[in-house]
Amino acid sequence: MAIIKATGKSLSDYLYESFWNPMGMENSALWQIDGRKNRMEKAFCCIASNARDFAKFGKLYKDFGKWNGKVLLEFRTTKDPMMRLGKKISFNITDNKNSIPTSFEGILPDLFAENQGVIASGKYINGVFVAEEILAKHDESYLPKEVIDILKQDGLYVEPEK
């Protein structure tokens, strides 16, 4: 919904014009829709394609948002001074058997919370995992508050089935 309002394009058209076509993807993709009357693409998941095309997103990430020298995605890391606006925290990552002391300085995802799944990338230094990026995991029914507010404002919000 936010992409449509900002660009005037559907999410799939925006993805095609901004990434799929410029990155030279070899195959079409299928995007799961919400299945309700508005048949809107699920923005938080559910694109099906092949491994070779998805690997190109890994290369885009590795190259900090650049594809063949052209910036397709503005990329920020904790090396970026803007990301240092967050606070420095320490916590443990555990598999309920082993525990790793972890530190992070930056802006945490909204869903970051105790006893929740997390994906962290960084370096192990002197017995502490120094995270450079933190991603919080969520279930497939999650929608950011901002998206829910826009859907409600437009009269399109449907309460998720439990």
Say how many domains are in the chain.
2
Q: Tell me the per-residue pLDDT of 108-162, one tens digit each, with 9 for 90 and over.
A: 887 787 877 788 899 999 999 999 988 887 766 677 778 888 888 888 888 877 6
CB 4 within 8 A of CB 10: yes
CATH of the domain at 138: 2.40.50
Note the pTM of the prediction, 2 decimals: 0.46
Q: Tell me the per-residue pLDDT of 148-158, one tens digit each, with 9 for 90 and over.
A: 888 888 888 88
Q: Tell me the per-residue pLDDT of 97-110, one tens digit each, with 9 for 90 and over.
A: 889 999 998 878 87
> Same domain for 87 and 64?
no
Can you list the positions of beta strands (E) in 51-127? 66-67, 70-71, 87-94, 99-106, 118-125
CB 121 within 8 A of CB 101: no
Q: Give me the domain span that covers residue 40.
A: 2-74
Q: For the chain, how many residues are written?
A: 162
